[in-house]
Structure 1
């Protein structure tokens, strides 16, 4: 597995999570008192709104950014905020504003606070690190040599910021300032710097201390398609199409074409890999009718989801609790620490974000899982920030933790299923449309 999230598993200390709360949990919260007998729409409201609290109530008090996780683990502290998770959180806040769970002016002010913090924070050729200190804006090292620019996390951040710029189009000073400052940040990202001097591939990391030492090329298929799309969309530092064709589309695990559980998988690992591949990029990038010379991305994401679902129903390892109402394998916490769960790395752990963020691709199956998680398992996995990060009935283990990169897609992808809100916003950006056209994409949302 060649992706950074998988490399977490190789880092010292990433095998056992310490469950120390970063902030006092609400003594009044009792999962047993959750509302019952909800309609589908009421339940979707309940889950989105509760999960949004992770970003709204638990956002860092100084920066407003999303905390990496709700518990102190892996020997880092309360001040760690995540750039990619903040991008997902911004999209969740937009959903909250649109549904009037948050006053629009307060949502704009929170995102503007984040943007102003980012302007003063460490960045490298306009690219932000994976983690920042939420109080000071200084880089927090992710690993020994990963102490500088992280292009993929930056792309997740700007996926959210572009949505915000397209959403907050009002005439108030806050909304005008927000749009302007997002534009300045966006124009300043030197995407083409990450080709290491005109190589036809993007590199994930650059460090002022270690240069290109990590030397990690971004090849597909995985969660990083959005990185190439935004790199092609940049107003000032764009990549050429050949970087996409000769870099992204040439990975060892790019093309597949085999069948798994009677479903043909166009791209990626056998059995699809963890489900976040079909979530992170597609919080903003609308896969409906999205095609290029390599794939139809709606078909790709549906196939990936169906295979993941079919595997859990088949349950070849006979884990307790797996079935049509309890499915979904993706990267999350587990009883062994963080793990990139998939059909080929199955530890008996279900990650709620997997099925819930797949709502656009398998609405019936996702809704069945949601009802089971909430109604039947809620005493153990429902919390003040929505569902916990993972659980295993086989091992009688239920996480106490939440991760920004898992909570955000729940809010955003459910909303895309319900209204297509974030898809419409992101795809309405003229820069994004230009970038997609440059790379050879077709989409009903690209204006001719």
Structure 2
């Protein structure tokens, strides 16, 4: 068991680089192996865990995309859930047998769920799965896409389960067998286009989505898992093809220089499971940093942008920051401080001037907290400031997002509620955002997820085929 029990005791392209540099600590390095978090993080961690434990369908292991709004299942949220259950065991919230049984039910479902190219009645095709599934039947929800990245998030949770359940009893042995079988079934060459890039998705009767995983973003985990498969893996050179698209994504200078992607989730999801500290591919060997340090710098850049606050939103500051993909008040255009401001519903958000940048004043607790392992010294004060805000902390921890500038009490909202003083607060918890928070806390406390995933042959093989070396990878 690698989890330890709880110890009870910016605008880089446009804003001055000096602003971001001034916000960085003098020395850049990996976070300490153990960080003593404030006592209330115990409550946050358990509440966040309960989202997955309380809401999972016991028959098939599916987890809703969001709650309390009635929702379809998200396969990515299931990947986070499979990672959450052992955390619950280690912290003493549930018994190992309980976690094992729900995990086994989940893996049995995905191992036997119908696969095929029919537009309805299927859960997946060619070993991949549809982004959203019906919570009860487990089949494709409406016209959602067959998703390479969401399947990868599911696979990471499955691989984690396969590595964590290491007992000799038949149930845990079956978990290990199913984990390998499910993840090795995916036909990665089929999902690859003529340029060697993995497509973002596929629709029956229509074919592949035009966009593919290029640039720098969460797609890095797609390539690691695809390269690591024992079944039909990605071809040699897939990682090099991915990194060839990096050049336009560099931002900053000196100790602020990093591969940029505006929404912070792109720097967090891969590294919730894969420990990139001290291991480097050819790109990072040339850059003189690793991907962990890159994400640490991206976190500081996100905060620096919010401190600079070029859009003059209310509430942004040293301890209130964090832009990522999240819910928003709605697609609305309204007057704000002498200008016309555009607001959005669910959308990726991040510093303007970075790839995929968009800023409508909406902040998300998962943006900062998902970077807890990278920069606890700035994330903990942010979390404490957010917890002090009205209406944001509830049954399952932090609600998904809030916008202090949005105080339009007569506006027609897509979600959440508005207070004339404190602004808009979302009404839902989102599974993927909850999962990023929970995993980041576990890695910050005791490297719990990282240590387990180091044992995954799929991850080790994928990293080695991508040219990573050094550190724990040897």
Q: Cα distance 1:303–1:241, how it changes in 2: closer, same or farther (>3 A)?
A: farther
**Could you tell which deviates more after superposition, 354-363 or 55-64?**
55-64
Residue among 258, 261, 270 paired with 1:281: 270
Larger Rg: 2
Which segments of 5 or more consecutive residues in structure 2 lack a partner in the other structure? 1-35, 114-122, 285-289, 331-344, 353-357, 407-422
Moved runs in structure 1, 4+ residues, more than 4 A?
Answer: none
Counterpart in the other structure of 2:382: 369
CA distance in 2, matches of 1:350, 1:118: 34
Q: Is 1:188 paired with 2:185?
A: yes
Deviations 1:252-286 (A, max 9, x none): x65433317x7533323xxx401001111111111
Q: Which has the higher contact order (CA 8 A, sep 6+)?
A: 2
Deviations 1:61-118 (A, max 9, x none): 432222111144xxxx54x111112111211222112222221111111111111111
Residue among 282, 292, 305 paired with 2:281: 292
CA distance in 2, matches of 1:392, 1:186: 39
Contact 2:164 2:452 in 1 (8 A): yes
CA distance in 1, matches of 2:273, 2:143: 26
Contact 2:75 2:130 in 1 (8 A): yes
CA distance in 1, matches of 2:255, 2:262: 14
Residue among 312, 316, 320 paired with 1:322: 316
Contact 1:50 1:384 in 2 (8 A): yes
TM-score, normalised to structure 1's length? 0.83
Alignment of 1:70-149 (within 5 A): 70-72=67-69, 78=71, 80-121=72-113, 122-143=123-144, 146=145, 149=146
CA distance in 2, matches of 1:249, 1:264: 20
Report how many aligned residue pairs link the two structures: 390
Contact 1:65 1:81 in 2 (8 A): yes
CA distance in 1, matches of 2:297, 2:142: 36
Counterpart in the other structure of 1:64: 61
Deviations 1:359-393 (A, max 9, x none): 1111011110111222x11x411111110000112
Which segments of 5 or more consecutive residues in structure 1 lack a partner in the other structure? 1-38
Residue among 406, 411, 414 paired with 2:438: 411
Q: Is 1:306 paired with 2:319?
A: no
Q: Is 1:385 paired with 2:385?
A: no
Q: Cα distance 1:142–1:299, how it changes in 2: closer, same or farther (>3 A)?
A: farther
Contact 1:244 1:439 in 2 (8 A): yes
TM-score, normalised to structure 2's length? 0.78
Counterpart in the other structure of 2:37: 40
Contact 1:131 1:142 in 2 (8 A): no
Counterpart in the other structure of 1:163: 160
**Could you tell which deviates more after superposition, 286-295 or 396-405?**
286-295
The SS at the match of 2:444 is helix
